[in-house]
Structure 1
Amino acid sequence: MTTTGTRSRVRVSSVWAAGVALGASMLGSAVLSAPQASATCNLTPADDQYINLLAQNKMVHNADYSDCHEAAEGRWFADQVRSNPNPFGEGQELVNMITSTTPLTQAQAEWEVESAIYVYAPDLIPKIKDQAAKANWPTA
């Protein structure tokens, strides 16, 4: 039924918004088709932090992918969210894109996007939380 599908999407959206807020507060004490990383890559402290956050959730890359690729992807996610007038909605779209194009689970995709926002666009967290709080969620 449409109602069930809508409720499911609402729950996922609500969980994602709560995850961003909770993730941001929890990550404060955490260890310090995206563009390709350049052949010569120098990771910044922010890049190291992003890689470490992914590793905390056992999200490590294989031999064909490097930390430089991971960091470039995280910066790209943050740039997409930052450049959108609706960063909350864009974050949700990125999670959907990740789950439909990779073997990552919903929770892993959320962690990846939340980590990118936390590290590369922390200034957007209050706006995302505000948008989630003001969202016109359908009632059950």
Structure 2
Amino acid sequence: MTTTRSRSRMRVASAWAAGVALGASMLGGAVLSAPQASASCNLTPADDQYIKLLAQNKMVHNADFSDCHEAAEGRWFADQVRNHPNPFGEAQELVNMITNTTPMSQAQAEWEVESAIYVYAPDMIPKIKDQAAHASWPAE
């Protein structure tokens, strides 16, 4: 059982890292029309790209939030990953935080964090992939 869980976690982590890399390569050329921004802020091209990536996975905000809120959240996710000594671990923690505090599924939370990293911290992708490949998982 312990071996199965450890292998399963390693597969999930490897799949997550591969998803970041695959998502980065697939979405690099994605060009869509930008959604309308709130009148109270100016979205950057990166902000527009992040909002579009969320929309591709049918992840849109409700009336209580604006595109500006979503973009600010994405920048915050990327900053947390970039400024952490263990970016891969921090990305995993952000996914856990999202699934524990929102009705989002694991896949949606991963998409949200991966999209934020891809748009706002693409320089972190190689380090995250390397950490995922060399991750040592505790035995249960």
User: How does 1:2-13 map onto structure 2 within 5 Å?
Assistant: 5-13=5-13
For 1:4-23, list aligned pairs within 5 A: 5-23=5-23
Query: Does 1:84 find its partner at 2:84?
Result: yes
CA contact (8 A) 2:14 2:133 kept: no
Are residue 51 (structure 1) and residue 51 (structure 2) matched? yes
Structure 1 unmatched ranges of 5 or more: 33-38
The residue number in structure 1 matching 2:60 is 60
In structure 1, give the amino acid aligned to 2:40.
T
Matched-pair contact (CA < 8 Å) for 1:50–1:71: yes
> Over residues 119-140 of structure 1, what are the superposed CA-to-partner deviations in whole Å (9 max), with x where a residue is unaligned?
000111111111112223579x
**What is the CA distance between 1:21 and its match in structure 2?**
1.5
Aligned length: 133
Q: Does 1:121 align with 2:140?
A: no
Q: Which 5+ residue runs of structure 2 have no aligned equivalent?
A: 33-38
Task: Report % sequence identity.
Answer: 86
Alpha-carbon separation, structure 2, partners of 1:60 and 1:54: 7
Is contact 1:31-1:53 (8 Å) kept?
no
Question: d(CA) in 2 for partners of 1:70 and 1:127?
Answer: 25
| Pairwise CA RMSD | 2.1
* TM-score, normalising length: structure 1: 0.85
Shift of 1:2: 5.1
> Contact conserved, 2:51 with 2:70, CA < 8 A, in 1?
yes
> Which residue of 1 is the match for residue 70 of structure 2?
70
